[in-house]
Amino acid sequence: MTSEGANGTGGVVYLVGCGPGDRGLVTERAVELVASADAILYDRLVPRSLLALAPPQCELVYVGKLPGRPTLPQEEINAELVARGRAGQRVVRLKGGDPFVFGRGGEEAEALAAAGVPFEVVPGVTAGIAAPAYAGIPVTHRAEASAVAFVTAHEDPRKGESALDWRALARFPGTLVFYMGVSRLAAVSERLRAEGRSPDEPCAVVADGTRATQRTVTGTLATIAERVVAAGLQPPAVLVVGAVCALRDRLAWAERRPLHGAVVVVTRARPQQSALARRLRALGAEVVEAPAIRIRPLPTPPELATIERFGLVCLTSPNGARLLVDGLLAQGRDARALARTQIAAIGPGTAAALAERGLRADIVAERFVAEGLVEALSDVEVADRDVLIARAAEARDTLVEALAARGARVTVAPLYETVHEPLPDYARDDLERATYITFTASSTVRSFLAGGGTVPQGARVVSIGPITTAALREAGIAVDVEASRHDIDGLVEALVADARARRAVA
């Protein structure tokens, strides 16, 4: 039943799988639905960065469960979905893994169908495949296992007896993957051995699969329960039984990435977060997106209408570079207006933003600070020249004063302003788990604190450069790592170097 509006109200419910935790495993369809939702009911393992894509007016409702402690009974979740669908809302039910693989999505779909509420199912990557893969364990392999069986270790307690055929499972000619098996690990391994499965068969338990906090314990069917207890592994986790587990030593990859185990908070403005977040995730980090500021474009400055008269245009941020070109286009003009103008960019990031809009910077400062651009312009003749500085409404006047002192006629064109962005509740919760928190500008420091953010105990503070470091110290926050190159590349390099150094002495 997928015909939207079939109930006469326009309401529809989407049962969406989000995978087991890695934001990169979320489907495009899931992202599309979140961005247009009226209400989102989400589980514990849903990537918080996905929730950040919801519209401002969207209602976020947590309905997740902790082991043994349901936040909201399943029957009430079903009723909530039905009520909201009948009320005409576009409801997105975000579920970890796949809705129809031990996710109780079938029960929710049955309730919606019985109530006549239109719904759509969006499959997700299930933990039984993804967690072993991230641990370097292929659940099937031509030489080791031509079949795989997925089993839940927790059946419906209302059933009179187990529906599992343990003898058949013990004799299954392939890989067994048990979901929700940590609390019953000893009982599962004992039952399989009692039914004839070899006690020497390789096993692995993967906890927090696909996330930066993923941990894997290996052993045999006879030893795995004891080893997992000794390692202190906690749910969510899957148990893998089979010869394929022996491949982990050669194929493990995710846990060997340089930022594996790191939870990194990114405080950049939301449009700039994505590129940094993708890079950090690719290096193995779990990224908490906690935007401290929002970029608000200002009306196009009148100076852009006569930009040809400026012999030099200075751009002090990627945001300014993009908005300058956008402002020209809004006036029906394009890059030809800058044909006789020198363009100076404050760093490689700003130069790259210009290149995205089809412009090449003539001068690029190596350091991503105003002083760096002052140095880069030291050999450029500016006396008696009209110079335009396109920047944020509030910024240091270092560049303005330095060029004016050399005889330039300086005009400042404010293109945007930064606005405080209060931290969402889900970001506050994730902050407490942070191992690193990054700041890319002094404005992010002020706005992060103004929005109620605090640096959690034990988290290491990473600064993009000396200006940001000064703002942090002024706020009473100690800086653990400062990038030697004052751009995003430098910040990532500094963070990775620190993580490797700490791992080496651990």
Is 5 within the bounds of a domain?
no
pLDDT of residue 161: 64
Residue bearing the bigger pLDDT, 419 or 492:
492
Asked about 1 being catalytic, the answer comes back as no
Contacts of 122 (CB under 8 A, 6+ apart): 14, 15, 16, 17, 27, 29, 30, 33, 99
Q: Which of 1, 65, 480, 498 is catalytic?
A: 65
Q: Per-residue pLDDT averaged across 480-493, rounded?
A: 91
Range of the domain at 340: 297-418
Same domain? 282 vs 428: yes
pLDDT of residue 3: 43
pLDDT of residue 69: 57
pTM for the predicted model, two decimal places: 0.77
Q: Which of 38, 98, 180, 430 is catalytic?
A: 180
Asked about 65 being catalytic, the answer comes back as yes
Asked about 386 being catalytic, the answer comes back as no
Amino acid, single-letter form, for residue 293? I
Pairing of strands 342-345, 237-241: unpaired
Residue 309: count of CB within 10 angstroms of its CB:
11
| pLDDT, tens digit (0-9, with 9 covering 90-100), for 38-63 | 999 999 889 888 988 899 899 999 99
Task: CATH number of the domain at 467, please.
Answer: 3.40.50.10090
Q: Which of 22, 38, 43, 487 is catalytic?
A: 43
CA 21 from chain center: how many Å?
10
Give the percent of the chain with pLDDT over 90: 66
In terms of Cα–Cα distance, which of 67, 7, 6, 15 is closest to 37?
15
Is 153 within the bounds of a domain?
yes
| pLDDT, tens digit (0-9, with 9 covering 90-100), for 232-257 | 999 999 999 999 999 999 999 999 99
pLDDT of residue 5: 43
pLDDT of residue 104: 93
Same domain? 332 vs 412: yes
Q: How many domains does the chain have?
A: 4
Q: Which of 108, 125, 142 is the last residue of a domain?
A: 125
pLDDT above 70 (res 270): no
Q: Which of 125, 144, 161 is the last residue of a domain?
A: 125
Residue 299: count of CB within 10 angstroms of its CB:
9
Give the dihedral of Cα atoms 95, 96, 99, 101; nearest 10 deg: -160
- The C-alpha atoms of residue 125 and residue 379 are separated, in whole angstroms, by 56
Q: Which of 370, 387, 418 is the last residue of a domain?
A: 418
Residue bearing the bigger pLDDT, 110 or 423:
110
Is 152 within the bounds of a domain?
yes
CA atoms within 13 A on the CB side of 169: 23
Same domain? 429 vs 402: no
Same domain? 287 vs 307: no
Give the percent of the chain with pLDDT over 70: 94
pLDDT of residue 4: 47
Chain mean pLDDT for the chain? 90
Same domain? 386 vs 447: no
In terms of Cα–Cα distance, which of 171, 125, 134 is closest to 149?
171
| pLDDT, tens digit (0-9, with 9 covering 90-100), for 106-125 | 999 999 999 999 999 999 99
| pLDDT, tens digit (0-9, with 9 covering 90-100), for 6-31 | 444 589 999 999 999 998 899 999 99
- The C-alpha atoms of residue 461 and residue 265 are separated, in whole angstroms, by 10
pLDDT above 70 (res 70): no
